[in-house]
Structure 1
C-alpha cells in the first residue's frame, strides 16, 4: 500500500527506527531534501556508522512502498545529554544510481560516509 503523506511515512519510519535506538526528534521535507534531526542510544562518541545504514535502509523500504526518494541531511545528537555527535548526507542522485546499478553498495556507502562530519575533541 503506497504511503499517501509525508506524515504517514515519517510515522512509520520513526516507529521502525525506535527499535534500533534511533529517535527522530524533527523532520522537515521540502522539494529538495528531507532534513532529519535524531538522537541515538548508541554508546561512544561520533555518529554510529551502522545506524546511518539503518536509517538509509529504512527510508529505502518506504521508497519501495511509493514514497518519493529525496536527499537526506541528518544531524545526530546523544539521547542522554543532547550532545551533538555529528551530521551526514545522502544525495538522492546516489540513491537513484544505486537502484539503477550504476553504483555498488560499497561505493554508495563510501559516498555517504565521505559526507560525515563529527565534532573534533
Structure 2
C-alpha cells in the first residue's frame, strides 16, 4: 500500500470516530479541516482527542505513517473556530512508549489556538485612550 493510499483511508477512519471531515490533504504535513459538533467559543478538547485517537489507532495498526498533522476546526464552512497541530514524532514517541498519553495530549493542547486569539484586523492601530 502506498503512502497516498494509506492517507486516503484516514478520512473514513476519522468519520468513524465521529469527526465531521471537511477536507484531508495528504502530505507532510497532513492538513485536516473538520466541522465541530460543538460550535461554541472554544475548540472542544474531547473532539481533538477523538481525531487523535483515530490517527493513533491507524498508526499502531501500521496503517498510517505518522506525519505532522495541522488541523483547522470550523463552525461552518469558512468560519474558523481554531487550529491545533501534532508533530509526527509525537505520535512515534507515544506508540514507542517514550511519552505518556498525558504528555502527548499536553503537547497538542499547547498548540491550540482559537480564532479570537488572532489580532482583530478591524481594530484601530491606535487607541484614543492611550496617553
Instruction: State if a TM-score over 0.5 links the two structures.
Output: yes
List aligned pairs for 1:1-121, cutoff 5 A: 5-6=5-6, 8-17=8-17, 20=18, 22-30=19-27, 32-63=28-59, 64-79=61-76, 82-120=78-116
Q: Which runs of 5+ in 2 are unaligned?
A: 118-131
Number of aligned residue pairs:
115
11 and 87 in structure 1: CA distance in 2 versus 1, 3 angstrom threshold: closer
Structure 1 unaligned blocks of 5 or more: none
Confirm or deny: 8 A CA contact 1:3 1:66 kept in the other structure: no
Displacement of 1:59:
1.2
Cα distance change, pair 73–15 in 1 and its aligned pair in 2 (3 A): same
Look at both structures and tell me which one has the larger radius of gyration over its CA atoms.
2
RMSD between aligned alpha carbons?
2.2
Higher relative contact order (CA 8 A, sep 6+): 1
Against the structure 1 CA distance between its residues 3 and 47, is the aligned structure 2 distance closer, same or farther, given a 3 Å change threshold?
farther
